[in-house]
Structure 1
Amino acid sequence: MGSELTSGAAAILCALEAAGITALFVNLGSDHPAFLAAFASNKHNIQIFTSPNEMNALSAASGFAQITGKPAGVLVHVECGTQGLAGAIHNVSKGRIPVMIFAGTVPITMEGEMRGSRNEYIHWIQDVPDQRAIVRQYMKYEHEIRSPHNAIQIVLRALQFCMTEPKGPTYLIASRETLEADTHLPSTKPSQKPELNMAVEPIGLSPASIEYLAHALVQAENPLIVTSYCGRSAAGFDALKSLAQLLAIPVHENAPIYNNFPTTSFLHQGHQWNGGGQLLALAEADLVLVVDADVPWIGAQSRPKDEARVFHLDSDPLKDSTTLWSLPCEKRWRAESSLALTQLLSFITDKALISDSVKATIASRTSKLEERFLARQNRLQTAEVPPSDGSVTVPFVMSRLREACSGISIVGLNESTTNLGNVADHLRHEKPLSLIGSGGGALGWYSGAAVGAYMALQSQGRDDLLVAFTGDGTWLFGVPSCAYWMAKRYNTPFLTIIWNNGGWASPKNACLRIHDQLSTESNLSEKFGVSLSPSPSFGKIAEGAGGAWWAVIEKANEVESSLREAIRIVREEKRCALLEVKIKTI
C-alpha cells in the first residue's frame, strides 16, 4: 500500500490510535484547525469527547486511565488551556496516572509564510516565553513537536514515559504550522512503529532480595504490611491478598489512593489519613513492609517502634517529585509490586519455608487478629446507628447504601476530604478497583473522573453503579456545570453523594491542630472564612446542567427511600442522581 499525504495533526492521531489510545478529551481553540479537519475526515477510530472545562477534561482522562490501566489523551488550547488544567495536573502527577496531554502554541510565523500563520489578534496575546514551563515540574516528559515528520516518534516516546513505572503524565506542544504541515503515512521507519517502542517492562526483585525478604517475613512474630496504591491493578490487589493470607500478615491502608485489600478480611487493619492516633498494629510490629506508599505513617501521630525492621518495596521508592521525604529502612527496592509480591509468594511456597514453628506463630497471630477484627467490626456497626435525634451521619448513610446496593457492584470515587475514612471504613468493599481517589490534593477531581470512569467501565462491558462521594466545598471545585453536562451528552450517569457540613472542614481542622486554644471560640467557621453558608442549591445546579435528579436528606428516616430512588434513576433512567446529605455543621 502506498503512502498518503496527511497533516501533522492527523499523524499524531494516527500514532495515538496505533498505540492503543481510544479516548481523547478535548477543549478546543484557534491552535487546533488541523485537528478539527482531521476529526472531520473520519479516518481515525479515537473517540473525541468535548469538555467545556480543562480540569474536567484531565480528570475524566484520569478516571478512565485509573480504571483501565491504559493511557487516555487530553487536547487543550495553548498556554491558557494548559493553565486551565489547574489542579488536575498535580493529581495525575502525584497519582502516577498515565495521561497524554497535548496543547497547541501560537503560530510561529506572522506574515503568511506558512499554512497556519497568525491571522487573529489573540495569536500575539497568547505568545509566552516558555509554555512548557507551566507544567514542567509535574511531567515525566515534555517536548515540542517541531516537524510533522517525526511527530509519531515523539508521541511514542511520550507514551513510553507515560507507561513506564512509575507511570505518569506527559505534555507535548506543537505550533499551528507544524500541525498543518504535510507528512506521509504510514511510515515504515522502526522508530515510528508502536510495537517497537513500548514502555520499559516492569521489574521484580532479584533472587537474593526475594530470599532475604521472604526469610524476614516468615521469621517475624508480628509483621505488618502498609500500602497506599498497591491496588492500582487487580494483579497487585490479588498478589497482596494472597501473600497476606498465606502468612496471616495484617494489612493497613494509609492515605490510600486505591482500595488495596478486602475490608471484610480479618487481616485488614483499616484506613488512616489525618488523625486516629497510634495504630496498634504498627506499634507492636517487629517487621513493617511498606509497599507502594507515599505516606506510610505520620510520625507525629503513629509510628513503628525504633527496633522494628522496616523494608520498602515501591515503584517510586525515592519519591522523585517530593523534595522532603524520608523512610529509614533496612532494605529498599524499586520494583513493580504485583510482580515482587508474587515472587515472594512463590519462593515461600516452593522452598517450604513455613515450618511447624512458623505454622504455630501464624495460628497464634490469626487468633489474635480475628479477635481484634470482630471488635473493630462491632465499633463500626455501633457508629452506623443513627443518633436518637434523627439526624444523619456518614456511617449510617454508608450502611444504608450497602443495603440498597445488595447484589449490585459499586465503584466508588472517594473525594470526601474529612470523611474519607468514614466512606472507606463503611463501604466494606472486597474487589480491586472498587474505591479510588484522585492521587493528589487538588480537590474537584470527582466530577470529571466519574465521567471518564464510567466510559472505562462501559469499554469493559461492566454495569457497576458509579458513586462519587464528595464534600460540599469539594463539589464546587469540580466545576459541576461542566461535568453534569458531559454526563448527559455522553450518557455516563453516576450517583453523587454530597456530605454537606456547611463549609471546608479541612482548613479549620488544620488550624485547630496547631492553635487548639481557638477551639472554644464561637462562630469559628465564619471567622476563619471557611463557611459555605448559605449553601448553594447543589441539586438545581446539577439539574440545570445535565438534567440530574436530586434530593436533600436532613433526617435519618429519609435516607433509605432517597437512596433507592437515586439508584433507580441512575440504573434504569440512565440519568445522574445527586443526594445532598446534611450532616453536622462545622
Structure 2
Amino acid sequence: MTAETQVRGTGGELLMHQLIAQGVDFAFTNTGSAEAGFFDAFLTVPGVQPILLLNESLVVSAADGYAKSAKKTAFVNVHLAAGTRQGSGQLYNAYFDGTPMVVTSGMRDAGEFGDHNTLGVSSGYSSMSIVQDVTKKRWEVRDPRGVPMATRRAFKEASTMPSGPVYLAYSSNALDSKNIDATIIPSQPLEMAQHPSIDALNQIHDALLNAENPLLVVGPDIQRANAQYDVMELAENYALPVSVGFFDYGSFPTAHTAFIGMVDTLDDSKYDVVCCIGYRPNTRGDPSDDRFSNAFKIGIGHDPDLLGNTFTLDVSIWSNVKHTVAALNALWRPADANLHQISQRKTILKKLGEQRLFQQKQNALSHAYDNPIHPDFLGQRMADTLAPNTMVVSENFRAADHLLPFGYENNDWRLVRAYGGSLGYGVGSAIGAQLGSPDTPLVLSIGDGSVMYSSAGFWTMARYNLPILTIVWNNMNYQTVRTNFASWGGNMKRENKYPETFLGDPAIDFVLLGKSQGIEGQHVRDPSELDKALKYGREAQAAGEPYILDIHITNVGDGSDQTWHKSFKLTN
C-alpha cells in the first residue's frame, strides 16, 4: 500500500511536501512575487533545491534537459501568465518531444474584481488557455486543500505514456492560506500493457525475416524506455539497416555497421518492409509525408497520435517499446541466422558500414589544415579528444553530430537535444542535463546563433559551478537559414545575398560574454590549436569548472563565401 503522510501548513508548504513525495530534487524557476507562498516554503520544508535561471525560456529548457538526462519528471515554476508565455517556445519543444514535465505558475484573478491585471491573463481567458496547444493536460487550483491532489495528478499524467508536459496554475489563496491539513500520497505513472497479441508479433517477425529490402527506423522512445540493447539485438538478429529521425543520432550507435543515417535523407520508395520503433516523425507539410509507399509498414511506439497519423501502418502496436521489442526478440530462433536472405543482408551491411565509417573519417581528416576550421574536422577531433562517456547537449543543425561516438556502451557518448526546433534550447538544457547526471562529463555543442537566444544561462552555470564544457561553433552565420534560403532559390540564390543571416559587424565575442558571467574560456582560430584547446577544456571540466571554447569555423554550403547584409546605420 502506498505510504501516506499527514501534514499541516500553508498551501505552499503542502506543495513542497508533495514535491518531496514525488522524489523531486530540483525546482527550476525564475522567481516571481505572486508565488511568494511557494518560495517561502523553501525555508520551512527542506529537501528541494531551487535552481535559478534568468528567464523563463531557460527555466523550461533546463527542465527538459534534466528530464531527458535523469529520466525523471521535471518540475518548473514560472511567474504568472506572462512568465508562462515567455517560456512557451521551449514548452513547445517539450511537448513536441513528449518530455515529462510539471509546469506551474501563480494565478491572479481576472474577473471577480478587476479584469486588467499586470502579468495576468487577459479578460475572458483562463491561465490554462495560454498553454492549451503545448501541454498534455492543464488545471487551475484555487482551494488550498486541493494542492496535494492536483499536484499528485499532474505528476501521474506527465509521466504516463504518452508522456508530456502538463500545467498547473495556483491562485494566491491556494499558496498563501495557513494551517491547512492534508494527506500527502505520491503518485506513479500508469503501467502500459506488457505484451501485444501473438498474431501481431508473428506478422512482424515474418515480415522482417522474409523481407528483401527492409528498414528499421528508430527514435527517442527507445532511450526513454531503456530499450537500447533490445533494439540493437533486433537489428543484429534480422540484419536490418537502421536509420534515425531528424538529427536523432542518439537513438542508435553511429559506429554500428547497420547504421545508415537519417531517414529524411533516404529514398524511401525502395524498401519493402519498414519497421518504425519509437520513431516520432518530423513531418514536412506536403504530400511526401505519406512515406514508404511500396512497403509493408509497422509502427511501435508510446504515443498513439504518432502512429498512423501520416503514413498508414499495416501493423501498429501502442505499447512500451521495450516490452514489444523483447517479445519480438523472443521469437527469433538461432536457426533463422542461416536463412539466405539474413546471411546475405549481414554481409552487405557489414561491408557498406565499414566503407561508410572509413570514408567518413577520411573526409574529416582531409580538412585537417583548412583555416578557418572545418566543422567535420572539429567533430572528428572532439570524438578523439574529449572524455569517454560524454553527454552532449546539441543545438547545432549544421555541425558534425554524426561524427560523434554516440552509442549504448559504457564509454559511448549520449545525446540530448530538442527536436521541435525552437531555438534557445541548448544552454538551459545543458544546465538541467548536468544536474540530472552530475557524474557524467557534459559538453554543450552549440551554434553561435543559438547561444544568443539563451546566453544568460552562463550565469547559472557559474553560480552552481556546473562543469560544462561549452563548444561554440562560431561561423558568424545563421547557416541553416542561409542554406534553406539557397534551396528556395530566387533572387537570394542568384545574387548570392541572403538577408539577415550574417552575424558579424560587429562580431560577438563569446569568451568575453562568458567571462562577464563568471566563466573562463578561449578562442580557437587555427586547426593547429584545436587539440590543445580541447584537452584544456577537458581538464577544466574534470577539475569541476565550466569552460567555453569559442571555435571559429568555416561556413559550408551555398552562400558560404558571403558576408553581405542590408547595411543600415541610424546615425553617421
Is residue 2:273 matched to residue 1:287? yes
In the alignment, the residues of structure 2 paired with residue 258 and residue 8 of structure 1 have an alpha-carbon distance, to the nearest angstrom, of: 44
Aligned to 1:495: 469
Q: CA deviation at 1:507?
A: 2.3
Q: CA deviation at 1:259?
A: 0.8
Is residue 2:361 matched to residue 1:370? no
Q: Deviations over 1:139-179 (max 9, x none)?
A: 11110012111211111111111011111001101111121
- Equivalent positions of 1:375-390 (< 5 A) are 375-385=355-365, 386=367, 388-390=369-371
- Equivalent positions of 1:5-16 (< 5 A) are 5-16=8-19
Paired AA for residue 176 in structure 2: E
Aligned to 1:115: none
Note the residue ranges of structure 2 that are not aligned, 5 or more in a row.
561-572
Is residue 2:443 matched to residue 1:467? yes
Aligned to 1:476: 452
Aligned to 2:567: none
Aligned to 1:427: 404
In the alignment, the residues of structure 2 paired with residue 457 and residue 125 of structure 1 have an alpha-carbon distance, to the nearest angstrom, of: 35
Aligned to 1:168: 164
Does the 8 Å CA contact 1:96/1:439 hold for their aligned counterparts? no
Paired AA for residue 474 in structure 2: N
SS at match of 1:552: strand
2:550 to 579, 582, 585: 579
Is residue 2:508 matched to residue 1:561? no
Aligned length: 545
Normalised to the residue count of structure 2, the TM-score between the two structures is 0.89
Aligned to 1:49: 51
Q: CA deviation at 1:302?
A: 10
Q: CA deviation at 1:493?
A: 1.8
In the alignment, the residues of structure 1 paired with residue 71 and residue 369 of structure 2 have an alpha-carbon distance, to the nearest angstrom, of: 45
Does the 8 Å CA contact 1:142/1:172 hold for their aligned counterparts? yes
In the alignment, the residues of structure 2 paired with residue 552 and residue 512 of structure 1 have an alpha-carbon distance, to the nearest angstrom, of: 30
Aligned to 1:230: 221
SS at match of 1:263: coil
- Equivalent positions of 1:40-439 (< 5 A) are 40-41=43-44, 43-106=45-108, 126=120, 128-129=122-123, 130-182=126-178, 184-187=180-183, 193-194=185-186, 197-204=187-194, 205-233=196-224, 235-257=226-248, 259-271=250-262, 276=265, 278-279=266-267, 282-295=268-281, 306-319=293-306, 326-349=310-333, 354-355=335-336, 358=339, 360-385=340-365, 386=367, 388-405=369-386, 408-419=388-399, 422-423=400-401, 425-431=402-408, 434-439=414-419
Distance 1:270 1:303, change over 3 A: farther
In the alignment, the residues of structure 2 paired with residue 413 and residue 125 of structure 1 have an alpha-carbon distance, to the nearest angstrom, of: 32
Paired AA for residue 247 in structure 1: Y
Aligned to 1:511: 485
In the alignment, the residues of structure 2 paired with residue 518 and residue 325 of structure 1 have an alpha-carbon distance, to the nearest angstrom, of: 36
SS at match of 1:418: coil
Aligned to 1:457: 437
Does the 8 Å CA contact 1:549/1:566 hold for their aligned counterparts? no
In the alignment, the residues of structure 2 paired with residue 267 and residue 125 of structure 1 have an alpha-carbon distance, to the nearest angstrom, of: 53
Distance 1:382 1:234, change over 3 A: farther
In the alignment, the residues of structure 2 paired with residue 376 and residue 570 of structure 1 have an alpha-carbon distance, to the nearest angstrom, of: 32
SS at match of 2:31: coil
Q: CA deviation at 1:104?
A: 0.3
Greater displacement, 498-507 / 440-449 = 498-507
Distance 1:182 1:257, change over 3 A: farther
Q: CA deviation at 1:106?
A: 2.0
Q: Deviations over 1:489-537 (max 9, x none)?
A: 1121211112222221222222222225642313x13xx1222112211
Distance 1:198 1:379, change over 3 A: same
In the alignment, the residues of structure 2 paired with residue 209 and residue 467 of structure 1 have an alpha-carbon distance, to the nearest angstrom, of: 42
Aligned to 2:501: 530
Q: Deviations over 1:116-158 (max 9, x none)?
A: xx9xx99556353322211111111110012111211111111
SS at match of 2:398: helix
Q: CA deviation at 1:44?
A: 3.1
In the alignment, the residues of structure 2 paired with residue 518 and residue 122 of structure 1 have an alpha-carbon distance, to the nearest angstrom, of: 46
In the alignment, the residues of structure 1 paired with residue 205 and residue 535 of structure 2 have an alpha-carbon distance, to the nearest angstrom, of: 48
Does the 8 Å CA contact 2:8/2:182 hold for their aligned counterparts? no
In the alignment, the residues of structure 2 paired with residue 59 and residue 498 of structure 1 have an alpha-carbon distance, to the nearest angstrom, of: 18
Identity %: 21
In the alignment, the residues of structure 2 paired with residue 108 and residue 35 of structure 1 have an alpha-carbon distance, to the nearest angstrom, of: 21
In the alignment, the residues of structure 2 paired with residue 29 and residue 131 of structure 1 have an alpha-carbon distance, to the nearest angstrom, of: 16
Q: CA deviation at 1:303?
A: 8.9
Q: CA deviation at 1:27?
A: 1.2
Normalised to the residue count of structure 1, the TM-score between the two structures is 0.87
Aligned to 1:114: none
Distance 1:297 1:105, change over 3 A: closer
Note the residue ranges of structure 1 that are not aligned, 5 or more in a row.
112-117
In the alignment, the residues of structure 1 paired with residue 199 and residue 477 of structure 2 have an alpha-carbon distance, to the nearest angstrom, of: 53
